[in-house]
Structure 1
Amino acid sequence: MLSSLLNLEISDVVPPDATKKTGARPVWERLALGYRILYAFAGFALLVLNVLIEKKVVDWDPMVAVWAACGVGLVALFDNVRLIKFKYDARERNAARARLYRPMFSALVALSDIREGIHVFDLGVSVFKISRVWFLWCGVIPWSEKRLVRIVRLRLSDSPNESNVRWTKGKGAIGVCWQSNVAVHHDRRADAATWGKNGQYPSEAQFADLQDDQKRGMNREEFIQTIDKYGEILAVPMVTPHKGEQLGVLSVDCLATAYAGPDSQSILQGEDIEAIAVRTARLTRDDVGKF
């Protein structure tokens, strides 16, 4: 099976829109849409003002219309430059995404080869970038904060879906890796056996009584959403080669269904597994900045 996988092209296993998001538009897109609507109104107002001045309906200096036209023209120039840059960056991102998939796919195959009996479809690799994310604070005020944003996810099976978790410092193996800048391994099988769907999801009171190393920095909704998905998660930092500046996090996960039980052998723990993850992070770090 592995030999046939190795002969596949990346395009055979990863659809072109594999990382395409659906749902509500990001805040910056909504702000940009609002700005362009205001720009259109400004252009219309400028036209009306010019007519009123020419017809002497208002006794204003004609230079008012001239300066207003210059202002609208500068805004239009800025908008066109921004659009050109966006299209150029989009091409760069698509090329970077194609390059990212190759070492990630090789990592999946290498991991399944090392751990006998583990199917490559049980494994997944994700790349997160440290980004400044804009959002509407209280639904009104534009605000920003640094978060880990998933830029690429590679899983050869259709499930599970991406976790709807806001990855901040200290949350899960991924957030702890960001916070500490060292490799982090979390084994969630024991907690899943007690608090997963085969046990009983914790109530609000029960969740409040859980230890910090059980909550992993998550709220109750995030805990319930993720507890049954993965048996283990390994996260390694992605850093620049010279200054050691952290760019993001690469995570490897294994489905909870791949294990015989909570006491069965670990799949993602070990120096050999970590070495593969670190090598993949090193091979993909140069393209993270394209996103």
Structure 2
Amino acid sequence: MSVGMGLWTPHESVRTGLVIAVGVVAFTSSVYAATEEYRGHMAAAVRERVAFVLRALAFDLQDATGLDVRDLSLGVYLRRRAIWVPWRERLVRIHRERATSRPVTSGVRWSPGKGVVGRCVAEGQDIGVDLTELDASISEVSREKWATIDPELRLGLSWKEYQRVRGKYGVVLASPIIDDTGSPARVVGCVSLDAPAGTRDRVTRDDIRERVASAGTAIFRLVL
């Protein structure tokens, strides 16, 4: 190293190291960018495949129930573990098909055991609930008395979470997505159907459950 005019001239070995370091950083950045772009393309392809299945299901349900497809909303939720809290599971919605007339997002973070979709995943079976009936029975319960309600009746929701979802939904049917490639089979997510209030008898019929379950099987084969 030499010093002159207040400038530092690095040794040849230092210059070589700097060049290598810059090259490694540039290469790593390029690989990261390419990986993220690939993941983005894959995610878009997955959403497109899921959307195709849900749209077909929506029109099939319209024919089977007589309900207008614009009054139906369909979603797909998958189990995921947070990287920073691996022991805590959540349900991530990977796609939703709905008309503009359907309710807006509740903002609740769903997880196994929470809400209709959460109960479906936790129990591994179809769950159909007319939430307007639930609202009529517990909507006036105070925060203080909320904890005294049967957890199954309040769908595992906290009082604050219930305030977010109250009045937003009618009838909800959730059907588990089953991974049957291993032994034992496991529940990896669910398909949810939101329909208008008062339609529980039509939405929870066995043939409707079979249609929703078949869509879940198709999504598993296409995506997972």
- TMscore range, shorter length: 0.7 to 0.9
Q: Does 1:119 align with 2:68?
A: yes
2:131 matched residue in structure 1: 188
Closer, same or farther: CA 106–192 of 1 in aligned 2, 3 Å: same
Q: Does 1:277 align with 2:201?
A: no
1:231 matched residue in structure 2: 170
CA distance in 2, matches of 1:211, 1:189: 17
> What secondary structure is seen at the aligned counterpart in 1 of 2:109?
coil
Deviation at 1:219, TM superposition (A): 1.3
CA distance in 1, matches of 2:123, 2:2: 66
Deviation digits for residues 251-279 of structure 1 (CA, Å, limit 9, x no counterpart): 111133xx2xxxx7523212111101111
> What secondary structure is seen at the aligned counterpart in 2 of 1:159?
coil
Relative to the length of structure 2, the TM-score reads: 0.82
Q: Aligned AA for 2:189?
A: G
CA distance in 2, matches of 1:241, 1:130: 15
Give 5+ residue unaligned stretches, structure 1.
Answer: 1-52, 135-141
Instruction: State whether residues 181 and 246 of structure 1, in contact with CA within 8 Å, keep that contact through their aligned partners in structure 2.
Output: yes
Match of 1:88 among 27, 38, 42: 38
2:58 matched residue in structure 1: 108
What is the number of equivalent residue pairs in this alignment?
219
CA distance in 2, matches of 1:131, 1:124: 22
Deviation at 1:245, TM superposition (A): 4.3
CA distance in 2, matches of 1:146, 1:64: 48
2:48 matched residue in structure 1: 98
2:192 matched residue in structure 1: 251
Q: Aligned AA for 1:273?
A: I
Relative to the length of structure 1, the TM-score reads: 0.65
CA distance in 1, matches of 2:203, 2:221: 25
Root-mean-square deviation (CA, aligned residues, Å) is 2.7
Deviation digits for residues 125-154 of structure 1 (CA, Å, limit 9, x no counterpart): 1011222334xxxxxxx5454321111000
Match of 1:132 among 70, 81, 86: 81
Q: Aligned AA for 2:26?
A: A
